[in-house]
Amino acid sequence: MNKIFPQGDANGSAAAGSKALPGGEADCSPCCCSRRGACLSAFLMLLLTALAALIALVAILGPPPRTPGAQACVTQTNRTGFLCNDRSSCIPASSVCDGVRACAHGEDEEEALCRAVPQSLPGFLVAHCGDPASWIYSDQMCDGINNCGDCSDELSPDGNVGMNEIKAYKILSFGLHSAVGKY
């Protein structure tokens, strides 16, 4: 045979001066148990460090801003309102895009919301009158005031005259028995 076996003979036995690992070379895998534990510990430490850095970054810079989206709410007068970004202030629908900041951060007067009123307003803030070209804020529906000019904002959804008109008609008619709508 022409093979050369350093520190051993042709049969594979180690020379007298060399040291062999306990259990022989066949029992040692590329990643021994003691190294596997160290690798796992290092990986977990790196993962925890990255997570801590991310949390610190969010704490320093603040959470990412929420995507703006107008949300409806009910005002203290039981009318449709606009929920400010603080999620606690509910302003009347008619206070949106009126030129006066009613929300603490002014989101009720933002350019994106007010650039093409009423088309740029969320649907819950707008009510259409009998004339399709006319509109009012939704909190002005059934408030006893003819905001549309054709009384369509004071009609109930089924087309009957609202209770506010019946009360007003009764007061003005001074006891006449003919009244518009139902009692």
User: What's the structural domain count of the chain?
Assistant: 2
The answer to whether residues 78 and 126 belong to one domain is: yes
The answer to whether residues 79 and 107 belong to one domain is: yes
CA atoms lying within 13 Å on the CB side of residue 69: 4
Residue 105 domain boundaries? 71-141
Rounded Cα distance between 63 and 83, Å, is 20
Task: Please report whether residue 158 resides in a domain.
Answer: yes
The answer to whether residues 77 and 137 belong to one domain is: yes
Over pLDDT 90: what percentage of the chain? 48
Q: What is the pLDDT of residue 181?
A: 37
Q: What is the pLDDT of residues 30-70, one digit of tens each?
A: 555 567 778 888 889 999 999 999 898 888 887 665 555 67
| Mean pLDDT value across residues 118-146 | 94
- Is the pTM above the cut of 0.85? no
Chain mean pLDDT for the chain: 76
Widest distance between CA atoms in the chain: 131
Which one, of 116, 125, 113, 119, lies nearest residue 69 by Cα? 113
Task: Please report whether residue 110 resides in a domain.
Answer: yes
Task: Please report whether residue 26 resides in a domain.
Answer: no
Task: Please report whether residue 13 resides in a domain.
Answer: no
The answer to whether residues 93 and 129 belong to one domain is: yes
The CA-based dihedral angle spanning residues 37, 38, 43, 45, taken in that order and rounded to the nearest 10 degrees: 110
Task: Please report whether residue 85 resides in a domain.
Answer: yes
| Mean pLDDT value across residues 120-127 | 94
Task: Please report whether residue 24 resides in a domain.
Answer: no
Q: What is the pLDDT of residues 15-34, one digit of tens each?
A: 555 555 555 555 555 555 56
Amino acid identity of 78?
N
| Mean pLDDT value across residues 93-110 | 95
Task: Please report whether residue 123 resides in a domain.
Answer: yes
